Amino acid sequence: MLEIPFARLDIGAFRGLHSLSLDECGAVNLIVGGNNCGKTSVLEALMLLCSPFDLRQWESTVDLRTTWPFADLRFRGSGLSRLDGLTWLFPHQGDEIGLIELAGGSKIGSLSASAERIVGIPPERTIVTDDELIEGLLPFRRGTNEQASSDDVEEIGLFLEVTLQSSPGQLALFPSFPRTYRMMLWGSGRGFRGRAPKSDLRIPVAYASPISHRSDGYLASGIGRLLRVGKKNRAIELLQRLDPQIKNLEISTPTDFDSRSVLPRGSHPPTLFVEYDGTGLVPIHTMGDGLRRALHLAMVLAEVEPGGVLLIDEIEVGMHTSVLGGVFAWIVKSCRDSEIQLFATTHSLEAVDAMLAETENQDLVLYRIREGKARRIDGEQLRMSRMQFGQEVR
């Protein structure tokens, strides 16, 4: 069995979850439970623990629940602001913002984070040190032409303080624990795209949401990554499990013959095409949900460096039950080959059964979340419950 990044997960407090533990995690972890029980929150907690001093990781964690891959820009304004999104990662009691408390049995140790709403005068440029990040302002306010920066104008902001403590047995590895990082963020802040501070405290991670495969542009950009890391053929192999007629994947710029296009002639973005045996190139836009989902899973898996974590929300989405086994076999093998730990949520018994069929007992754990607690069922017990007794385990 591979050495897994997260031996366990303890959520002291995160979003609506309190005192929830995933004990003795496996290489492959399925998370089940009713709607709104906190399955996605568990994935978000893991995501945050993978790089807790990286502002981008905090923002990405907020983004997991947004519909941005749809590029549904018309309605995006109805969502939470960036700072509100960050604030709602924290547990709330009335107007009080509580602490986030997480621990993962990993090299990251345990995390404690606080958030405080502030009012202040931001600097024009972002200031980054080993201990803090103070955001500068965007040149223009989000969504307007109004100039954001002006002298001595107060902004509403959010002050995040993140502290990592060592877990038992970690002192020798990280003698400088505890470490604290502070982030001062503004409503019109410009974010930070530079190298994350203290990047030794990072576990590679990628996340597939239930809807992110529906953005054509997102898929096309992901193929670029697959090409760069030399994994296009692996992705094609996965797609062939859904449709054996698929031969290749290509990125191309489509011919512009639509006079109503809002884009200047010849300026269409590159589009992803699937090459079929006999039919030729077909744009991904016309493909069914299952193929797009499978392609997306191949993309996110390629993003994770060996020793990292893959998080998949609703792993069965888009796929017919008859192909789940083939797709899961591919995912499990790919994760095993690259020593990647998998956490996936599902609502589907067929998905549980398919994962059982493709995973060794000692690698698989199922957690059922109910009333704020996680019930652990190991691979052997799960196999017996499902295969011998045909029981409901969700």
Partner 1 sequence: MMRRIYFVAEGPHDVEALGRLLSTLGAKRVQSIDKLDPYWSRLVPRIFPYEGDLLRRVPVPVFFQADKFSVAVHSAIGISEISKVTKASLANLDELPAAVGVVVDADDRSASDVWNEILAGMSEYDFGQAPGQAGVSEPRAGVFVLPNNESHGTHETILLKCGEKVYPELIGGARDWIEKLDPENNSIFVTANERKYFAKPAGKIKAVVAAVASVLRPGRSVQVSIQDNRWLSDTEALSIPEVAALQAFVSELIDD
- Interface residues with partner 1 (CB under 8 A)? 349, 368, 370-371, 375-378, 380-382, 384-393
From CA 19, how far away is CA 170, in angstroms rounded? 22
From CA 363, how far away is CA 18, in angstroms rounded? 27
* DSSP track, 174-230: -TT-SEEEEEEEETTB----SPPTTTTS---EEEE-SSGGG-HHHHHHHHHHHHHTT
Least distance in angstroms from the C-beta of 24 to partner 1: 12
Least distance in angstroms from the C-beta of 63 to partner 1: 33
- Taking the least distance from each CB to partner 1, the nearer of 333 and 370 is 370
Is 133:183 a contact under the CB 8 Å cutoff?
yes
- Taking the least distance from each CB to partner 1, the nearer of 56 and 373 is 373
- Taking the least distance from each CB to partner 1, the nearer of 293 and 376 is 376
Least distance in angstroms from the C-beta of 377 to partner 1: 5
DSSP 253: P
How many C-beta neighbours within 10 Å does residue 119 have?
A: 9
What distances in angstroms separate CA 178 from CA 130, 201, 364, one per listed residue?
14, 12, 33
- Taking the least distance from each CB to partner 1, the nearer of 190 and 368 is 368
- Taking the least distance from each CB to partner 1, the nearer of 232 and 368 is 368
* DSSP track, 125-159: S-EE-SSEEE--B-SB-TTSSSB---TT--EEEEE
Is 40:317 a contact under the CB 8 Å cutoff?
no
From CA 191, how far away is CA 175, in angstroms rounded? 30
- Taking the least distance from each CB to partner 1, the nearer of 303 and 378 is 378
From CA 8, how far away is CA 344, in angstroms rounded? 15
Least distance in angstroms from the C-beta of 30 to partner 1: 14
Strands 373-378 and 364-370 come out as: antiparallel
Omega of the bond leading into 178 within 30 degrees of 0 (cis): yes
- Taking the least distance from each CB to partner 1, the nearer of 342 and 393 is 393
Helix (H, G, I), strand (E, B) or coil at 279: coil
Least distance in angstroms from the C-beta of 136 to partner 1: 50
From CA 215, how far away is CA 385, in angstroms rounded? 38
- Taking the least distance from each CB to partner 1, the nearer of 15 and 386 is 386
- Taking the least distance from each CB to partner 1, the nearer of 114 and 381 is 381
Least distance in angstroms from the C-beta of 34 to partner 1: 11
Least distance in angstroms from the C-beta of 380 to partner 1: 7
Least distance in angstroms from the C-beta of 287 to partner 1: 32
Least distance in angstroms from the C-beta of 352 to partner 1: 11
How many C-beta neighbours within 10 Å does residue 152 have?
A: 5
Q: With CA atoms as reference, report the closest residue to 313 among 17, 26, 39, 53.
A: 39
